[in-house]
Amino acid sequence: MNINRNTNRLVRSTVTIAAAIAVGAGIHATAYGGVPLNNLQGTGGIAFNPLAYTAGLPWDGDDGGDTTNEVAHSALNGVVSRPQVGAWYVNLNDAGVNWWAGSAALTFAERVEVSAGYGFVNAHKYGDKSINTYNLGAKARFLDENAFDTSWVPALAVGGVYKYTDSRTVDALGLDKDGFDAYIVATKLITQTPWPILLSAGLLLSDEVVNGVVGHNHYDVVAFGNIDVLPAENVAIGLEYKQGVDAGDGIRNHDYWDAHVAWFVTKQLTLVAAFAETGDKDKFYRHGSAKNLGVGSGAVFSIQYQF
C-alpha cells in the first residue's frame, strides 16, 4: 500500500515537472527573471529556504522613453531596489490542507533585504479553517559571489524572520504564537558546467512547529539546501530540502522536500510549479504522534513579479 502511494506521488511530480518544462522550453522571451523568489515566508529564496541573494531588481532599464523617470530611477540605484512580490498556493490534498501566501521584499544598498509576508491556511482536519500567519524578515549579504577576483567564492548572508501565528490550534496545543528564525546561507551559481547549476546550503535556528503554521516551541538547529539546473535560459529545474526541526516536548517536524520547475517568462515575471512532501499525515492523524510531524504532500504553484 505504501509502495503504491509513493509511486503515485512520484508519477504526479514527474508529470508536473515534465509539463512545465515543455511549456517553458517552447516559448522564448527576450529577457528573463530569476532567483531569488519570495519564499513562503517572504524572504528571498525558493519555496521553503532562503538564498544568499537579495530580492529586487535595480532601477536602471527601460522606462518607456520617459526621461524624467529615467533620471529619478537612476538616482535610486544603489540606494533601494525595485520591489518584488510573490504569491503561493500549496494544496496538500491528501491531508486536506490549503495554504495561500503573499509577500513583498526589497533591498537597500544592494545588500540588506527586508520582507513582509502573510499566509492563510485552511486545515480543517486539524479542526481549524482559519490559520493566519504574519512574517517580518531581514537579510544581510556580507560576502559577494566571486569576491576577491575568484570564480568559486559563494555569496554568504545571514538573516532572520519574526513569525506570528493567529490560530485557535496554537492555543489548543498550548504552543507559543510567535517565534524567530535565524539562518546563515551560502549560494553559488556554477557556470563552468554544460548547464549552469545553482547550489545553496545553510543552517537554520528555529522553534517552528509545521513551519510555524501551528505555533512555536523550543529551538533547534537544522540544515537546508537547494540545487537547481538551468537547461535553458528561461527554465530552472530543482530540488529543495529542509531538515525537520526538533521542537522539544516530543514534537519533531518531518523533513521537507520539493521538486520544482521555474519558468522565467520575462525579466519581471516568474511562474513556478512543484510537488512538495512534508511528511506522512498518518503519523499525526491516525497515531496521535508528534514525532516526524507532517501534513502530507501535494502540488505547489507560485507567481512572482519583480517591478
CA atoms of 39 and 152, how far apart (whole Å): 26
Spatial CB neighbours of 282, under 8 Å, sequence gap ≥ 6? none
Structural domain harbouring 203:
2-306
Would you put residue 174 in left (φ > 0), alpha (ψ -120 to 50) or beta? Answer: left
pLDDT exceeding 70 applies to what percent of the chain? 80
Do the Cβ atoms of 221 and 205 come closer than 8 Å?
yes
Q: Is 109 exposed, middle or buried (0-12, 13-18, 19+ CB in 10 A)?
A: exposed
| pLDDT at residue 8 in the model | 47
Tell the burial category of 151 from Cβ atoms under 10 Å away from its Cβ (0-12, 13-18, 19+): exposed
Question: Residue 29's pLDDT is what?
Answer: 36
Residue 253: how many CB atoms within 10 A of its CB? 26
pTM: 0.84
* Average pLDDT score over residue span 198-223: 95
Our count of domains for the chain comes to 1
* pLDDT at position 1: 34
CB neighbours of residue 291 within 10 Å: 14
**Lowest-pLDDT range, 119-123, 195-199, 279-283?**
279-283
Q: Is the pLDDT of residue 30 over 80?
A: no
pLDDT of residue 282 exceeding 90: no
Neighbours of 5 (CB within 10 A): 12
Q: Check pLDDT > 90 for residue 285.
A: no
CB 121 within 8 A of CB 213: yes
For the stretch 67-116, pLDDT in tens is: 555 555 666 777 899 999 999 999 998 788 899 999 999 999 999 999 99
**Would you state the pLDDT for residue 33?**
67
Query: Which backbone phi and psi does 57 adopt, to 5 degrees?
Result: -80, 155
pLDDT of residue 35: 86
pLDDT level of residue 283 (50, 70, 90 thresholds):
low
What SS3 string covers 106-121?
A: EEECCCEEEEEEEEEE
The yes-or-no verdict on residue 27 having pLDDT over 50 is: no
Q: 103 by DSSP, 3-state: which?
A: strand
- Average pLDDT of 6-33? 42
CATH code, domain carrying 128: 2.40.160.40
Yes or no: say if 101 and 48 are a contact pair by the CB < 8 Å rule: no
For 36, 95, 114, 115, 277, the CA distances from 296, given in Å and listed in that order, are 26, 5, 31, 28, 6
**Are 306 and 84 in contact, with CB atoms under 8 Å apart?**
yes
Amino acid at 139: K
Q: How confident is the model at residue 13 (pLDDT cuts 50, 70, 90)?
A: very low
